[in-house]
Amino acid sequence: MEHLKSLLAKLNDKTALIGIVGLGYVGLPLLLRYVEAGYRVLGLDIDPDKPARLHRGETYIKHIPAEAIAAARHGFEATTDFTRAAEADALILCVPTPLDDHREPDLSFVLDTTDSLVPYLRPGQVVSLESTTYPGTTDEELMPRVESTGLKVGRDIALVFSPEREDPGNPDFCTRTIPKVVGGVTPACLQAGMALYGQVIDRVVPVSSTRTAEMTKLLENIHRAVNIGLVNEMKMVADRMAIDIHEVIRAAATKPFGFVPYYPGPGLGGHCIPIDPFYLTWKAREYGLNTRFIELAGEVNSNMPHWVVGKVADALNDRRKSVKGSRILVLGIAYKKNIDDMRESPAVELMELLQAKGAEIAYSDPYLPRFPKMREHHFDLASVPVTAETIPTYDCILVATNHDAFDYRLIQKHAQLIVDSRGVYLDPLANVVKA
């Protein structure tokens, strides 16, 4: 236990070196926050471009300004050299946990990263996993790997799970102000986890185990997925009844208790909501349980791009046009407004579905000047300008992501047809069809 006592002292007096493994949407804000709080930070990433850009004071994430990186350069070093993990007193893993082709958990990033760190683990470290995963991952998968070194978790080294809660582009909350849930494999591990986050996060919330912390993150995201599925289903019912679901939501939201507004859209996007519920449905089967409620919500949400494409086809048909041969401009391709994050963006599926039906696809997104290289999707396209001259050249403008940067009044004034999947246009307009 002497090793962990020494670790606590270093964490509390800020002499500890904090290692951040994975410098993406979760890891980079965390790196900057630790530097801001007065810690020395070592950033590790397999992509050589990220350390190089960070050392030049450049950003690669829209909502994180280059000025913040430049201001923090005195307090961090970034590298692809994982042997340097031995120098760190804390190792915080911020790597992806996607689904595989069968919509089952893909822990390869977590496990490969852990395996690459194992040779450099030493007494007096704390390892924290922040990647969203199913309950049991930390103690079933990470702990045996850590203890394969001969180190004893809870005696020589601490192991915790603390789920990331980043919300890119959220103007009201930042890394420091979002409460942090922490669970440890042992009480000593929990103590180390509380010390690790206690001086950089305003409120740290301890829970009884890593499994509780893992389930907490899943509940948060499943709560959103199920409610979004409900409102998406309500949207389809309201549409058939010629009722504006956005007007209904605005009216319902005036109730000061018992109602939380959720908003429909063209599908789910981001690294959490479309993916995380399936981590629990997969794990639940091990216990002989079928999570029908969660799976139904997933089915509704995954069908929304097809619903929107159907609305596009109907709207063009009403104007004596077919999808095939129509020029369609997709407005916004990030998964939500005012960010440049493309992960699981429903806009990509919309583009693919429309292209498969013969449409000529273009897109406009001020934060993504070229369609990025993606593992499963690719369009050789660049963002087109939205002007009074270009708008009328398209048979349909599809609002897929409602960036504030778009001039919606200009678009409505000059567009032949707008299909609005985000509720941008509140009032009935002749050239606007709500999807």
Q: Which residues are catalytic?
A: 272
What is d(CA 241, CA 294) in angstroms, rounded to the nearest whole number?
Answer: 26
CA atoms lying within 13 Å on the CB side of residue 354: 35
| Residues 311 and 433: beta-carbon distance below 8 Å | yes
Q: Tokens for 260, please give them.
A: 């939380």
Separation between Cα atoms, residue 216 and residue 210, nearest integer Å: 10
Q: 394: closest CA among 411, 374, 371, 375?
A: 411
Longest dimension (CA), the chain: 78
Beta strands in 136-261 (DSSP E): 158-161, 180-184, 204-207
Q: Residue 397: CB partners within 8 Å, gap ≥ 6?
A: 328, 329, 331, 391, 411, 415, 417, 418, 419
CB atoms closer than 10 angstroms to residue 196: 29
Q: Would you state the structure tokens that stand for residue 194, as one six-digit string? A: 């509380």
- Judging by DSSP bridges, how do beta strands 180-184 and 158-161 pair with one another? antiparallel
Query: How many angstroms separate the Cα of 165 from the Cα of each of 46, 177, 208, 249?
Result: 23, 11, 19, 26
In angstroms, the CA 117 to CA 136 distance is 20
